[in-house]
Amino acid sequence: MSTQFKAFVLSKDRKNNQIGNIKNLLLDDLMEGDVTIKIKYSSFNYKDGLAIAGKKPIIKTWPMIPGVDFCGKVIKSESPNFQINDKVILNGWGVGEKHYGGFSEYARVKSEWLLKLPEKFTEEQAMIIGSAGYTSMLCVMSIIEDISPSKGEVLVTGASGGVGSIAVHLLSKLGYGVVASTGKVEENDFLKKIGAFRILDRKEIGSINTAPLLKQIWAAAIDTVGGNTLSNILSQIKYGGVVAATGLAQSADLNTTVYPFILRNITLRGIDSVYAPLNKRIKAWSMLSDLVDRKFLNTIKIVKKFKDLKNLSNEIIKGKIKGRIIIKI
C-alpha cells in the first residue's frame, strides 16, 4: 500500500479561481523521477509567495505543490549517484512551478536536480540559506571574478530581503565595503550588524533619472529590484565595474542607454539560479558552507508550518517579512 502524506496543493476551482489547501496524497501521486526524498525542511521565498497568492503566472502545471527548494533524506533511489539516507538539497529546476515542489512531506525528482548536503551544514541551516542565499552566492561569484575589494564600494539593493541580506553578509565576509540600500529605516541597525559599511535610502537610487551617465560611485552592485533602481546603478558604476541583476521587485522594465557600456566598459550580468549548471551549484554551496556565519543564520531564522503559507504569501509581497522563513515539514 502506498504511503499517505500531507502537502500544500494549489489547484483551480470550477470558475478557474486559484485555491490552496493542505491535502492528503499518496506516494503514487508524485511526479516522475528516479529519487524519492522525505523532506525535512523547505524555505519560503518571494517567488513562492507570488505563486501562492496568484500574483504572477508562476505555476505552469495544475494542480501543483509549490515550494522552489527543499532539503531532506533519500528513501528510494534508482540513481547510482544517491543512496538511501543521503541528505540532499534541491533548488530550482522548475520544482514548485511545473514539477511538485517542497511544501510536501515527500518529493520525487530527477537525480540530476539534486546536490548532496555539504557536511558543514545541517538540513535546517541549508534551508535558512535556501534559494535566496544560493542566488546571493551566484551573484557574489559573478562579482568577485573581476572586482577585488580594493576597487571600491559594492552596492546591494533590496538589502533587507532574503537575497539582499545574505549578499550583504557574504560580501562583508569576503572583505568588501558593502553599501546596503533599503527603504526600511528600522532595518538599518540589522544591516550594519550583518556587514553593511553604510546604509543608503532606496529613494536616493530609485527615482526616475534621464541622464545616461552619472558620477561614478560603485565598483560593483547586486540588484534585486530592477526598474529605475537598476537604470540608475548602471549610470553610476565605475569604469570596468560589474552589476549582477537578479530581481524585479520594483519593476521588470529597464530604461538605459549604451553609454555606460561603451564609455565605461561596464558589465551587466543576469543571474539565474533556477537552471544554473551543476558545477556552479556545487561551487556556490561549497562557498556558502565556508563563508556563512552560523550565528547569522540563527538571527534571521523564522520557523513556520504549512498552515501559515497563505498569510506568509501576502506578507512577503507587501514587503513585511524580515529574515528567512523555513517551513518545517
The answer to whether residue 83 scores a pLDDT higher than 90 is yes
The CATH number of residue 62's host domain is 3.90.180.10
The answer to whether residues 190 and 80 belong to one domain is no
The answer to whether residues 208 and 313 belong to one domain is no
**pLDDT of the residue at 1:** 54
The answer to whether residues 147 and 92 belong to one domain is no
pLDDT of 30-69, one tens digit each? Answer: 999 999 999 999 999 989 999 999 988 899 999 999 999 9
Q: What is the 3-state secondary structure (H, E, C) of the chain?
A: CCCEEEEEEEEECCCCCEEEEEEEEEHHHCCCCCEEEEEEEEEECHHHHHHHHCCCCCCCCCCECCCCEEEEEEEEECCCCCCCCCEEEEECCCECCCECCCCECEEEECHHHEEECCCCCCHHHHHHHHHHHHHHHHHHHHHHCCCCHHHCCEEECCCCCHHHHHHHHHHHHCCCCEEEEECCHHHHHHHHHCCEEEEEECHHHHCCCCCCCCCCCEEEEEECCEHHHHHHHHHHEEEEEEEEECCCCCECCCCCCCHHHHHHCCEEEECCCCCCCHHHHHHHHHHHHHHCCHHHHHHHEEEECHHHHHHHHHHHHCCCCCCEEEEEC
pLDDT of 279-302, one tens digit each? Answer: 999 999 999 999 999 999 999 999
Least confident of 180-184, 206-210, 255-259, 263-267: 206-210
The pLDDT-based confidence of 193 (bands split at 50, 70, 90) is: very high
Q: Look at residues 234, 255, 270 and tell me which one is the last residue of a structural domain.
A: 270
**pLDDT of the residue at 252:** 87
Expressed as residue numbers, the domain containing 191 is: 131-270
Q: What is the pTM of this model?
A: 0.93
The answer to whether residues 210 and 174 belong to one domain is yes
Overall domain count for the chain: 2
The answer to whether residues 149 and 73 belong to one domain is no
Tell me if 275 is assigned to some domain: no
Tell me if 78 is assigned to some domain: yes
